[in-house]
Amino acid sequence: MSALALAWAFLRHRPIEALVTLCLAALAVGTMVVLLLLDAELKGRLTRDLKGIDLVVGAKGSPLQLILSAVFHLDVPTGNIDRAQAEAVANHRLVARAVPLALGDSLAGFRIVGTTADYVALQGGRLAAGRLWQDELQAVLGASVARRLGLGLGDRFVGSHGLGAGGGHGHDEHPFEVVGVLAATGGSLDRVILTAVESVWRVHERKPGPARTGIGGIQPAEARDELTALLVVYRSPMAAAVLPRWINSETSMQAASPATEAARLFALVGFALDAFRGFAYLLFTTSALGLFAALYGALRQRQYDLAIMRAVGASRWRLFGQLLLEGGLIGLAGAGLGLLVGHLAAWGLATWLAASQQVPLSGLGWQWQELLPAGGAMLLAVLAALPAAWRAYRLDVAAVLART
């Protein structure tokens, strides 16, 4: 009968304490795994979206909001900017490339973005089918949009006013035609509908009635002299010292640095993650203490079993190892269950966030760092078993067996 089989039999004989500590360990490991996965995926996505963009220019307001709305398509825009001013920036000698964005409408919660072909290149997009827009009211769909809405080449749709999921009134008189579908990039490009800037202007021209205000109080870039934002790529590093200052002081626009704002966002998110991490450490401690108490407390009941094992030939070290093995097994099961629960929870949470908050997370994937909490749980379990193992090692067999 192997040490493993024996440990298993002992654990099964008194399963409650073992199960409780196992579940606590699994929760601790699971929490850490969820944090790791979501943190890594979020950072990965944000960094990919930001890649290549040196500066975002938009209406004055919160710089973080500007980045979120113009790059990640998460928040509402800060407002509109003057086309002439934007062109002045685009033509600046320190600017290599400037990509205009005109927002205002959406389809089933997906934003319709008026821009140029440069935007696709900047975000690393590639056509999966069809071609890019060449004329007004032609649209290219991000991969998720095409999949979720079931739209394909040649299909027609009308955008609705505003950026919210419910949308405002429809623009029935200006249907878009799908001319292309992009391949999935894993970035925010998957969640937008691209078209020419002129399409956005066209849809909002000579609109009757009072509806100048979009959903969320946002003015769509509707006049031919307005844009929502400008994504800027520098020609030389020197631009970083000159351009933002010039834009912020000499124009009515603001310039926000994606790097700075992303760092601020990570710090904000990191703070929340730290709180959860603290909670996970608490769970680790609780499960280790629980395991210690379970093993140590059971020694009184088990002293005869242990003494008999010695009487039939087991050495002191064998008993020591046997108890460590029991602790280790609980740790191992806790770690395994924790990894499983963590991945399931990350997937569930990401799916929920994606559906309800438009935060583009999948919760899938794998990080080598997961091995740290898993290994930590096992190590902690073995450590928690040490006192009990030491008592078993020291057991006075003759005294126990003489007791009747």
Partner 1 sequence: MLEITTLTHAYAGRTVLALDAWQVAAGEHWLLLGPSGSGKSTLLHIVAGLLRPSGGSVRLAGTDLYALPAGERDRRRGRSVGIVFQRLHLLEALSVLQNLALAQSLAGQPVDRRHLADLLSRLGLSERAAAKPAALSRGEAQRVALARALVNRPQLLLADEPTSSLDDDNADRALDLLTGEAKAVGAALIVATHDARAAARFVRHLTLPKAT
* Site residues, ligand ATP (CB under 6 A): 399, 402
CB of 300 to ligand ATP, least distance (A): 17
Report CA 174 to chain centroid distance, whole Å. Answer: 36
Name the maximum alpha-carbon separation found in the chain: 102
The nearer residue to ligand ATP, 249 or 404, going by C-beta atoms, is 404
Query: Can you tell me which of 10, 133, 157, 234 binds partner 1, judged by CB under 8 A?
Result: 10
Return the H-helix or E-strand segment holding 219. Answer: none
Query: Which residue's Cβ has the minimum distance to ligand ATP?
Result: 399
What does 10 bind: ligand ATP, partner 1, none (CB cut-off 5 to 8 Å by kind)? partner 1
The nearer residue to ligand ATP, 206 or 403, going by C-beta atoms, is 403
Q: Does 316 bind partner 1 (CB under 8 A)?
A: yes
Binding mask 13-42 for partner 1 (x = CB under 8 A): xx----------------------------
Count Cβ atoms below 10 Å from residue 11 Cβ, excluding itself: 18
Query: Can you tell me which of 305, 344, 362, 387 binds partner 1, judged by CB under 8 A?
Result: 305
What does 235 bind: partner 1, ligand ATP, none (CB cut-off 5 to 8 Å by kind)? none
List residues bridging with 181 in a β-sheet: 129, 141
Q: What totals of helices (H) and strands (E) does the chain contain, helices first?
A: 13, 13
Nearest to 101 by CA among 113, 89, 92, 90: 113
Burial class of residue 110 (count of CB atoms within 10 Å of its CB; 0-12, 13-18, 19+): buried
Cα 186 from Cα 194, distance rounded (Å): 16
- The per-residue b/e assignment along 26-63, b for 16 or more CB within 10 angstroms, e otherwise, is bbbbbbbbbbbbbbebbeebbebbbeebbbbbbbeeeb
What does 128 bind: partner 1, ligand ATP, none (CB cut-off 5 to 8 Å by kind)? none
Q: Does 12 bind partner 1 (CB under 8 A)?
A: yes
The nearer residue to ligand ATP, 242 or 400, going by C-beta atoms, is 400
The answer to whether the CB of 169 falls within 8 A of the CB of 161 is yes
Number of residues that bind partner 1 (CB under 8 A): 27
Binding mask 252-291 for partner 1 (x = CB under 8 A): ----------------------------------------
> Where would I find the beta strands (DSSP E) of 70-214?
81-82, 95-107, 110-115, 127-130, 138-141, 156-157, 160-161, 176-182, 192-196
- Which region, judged by CB under 8 A, interacts with partner 1, from 104-112, 161-169, 301-309, 359-367? 301-309
Q: What is the contact surface with partner 1 in residues (CB under 8 A)?
A: 1-2, 6, 9-10, 12-14, 304-305, 307-318, 397-398, 401-402, 404
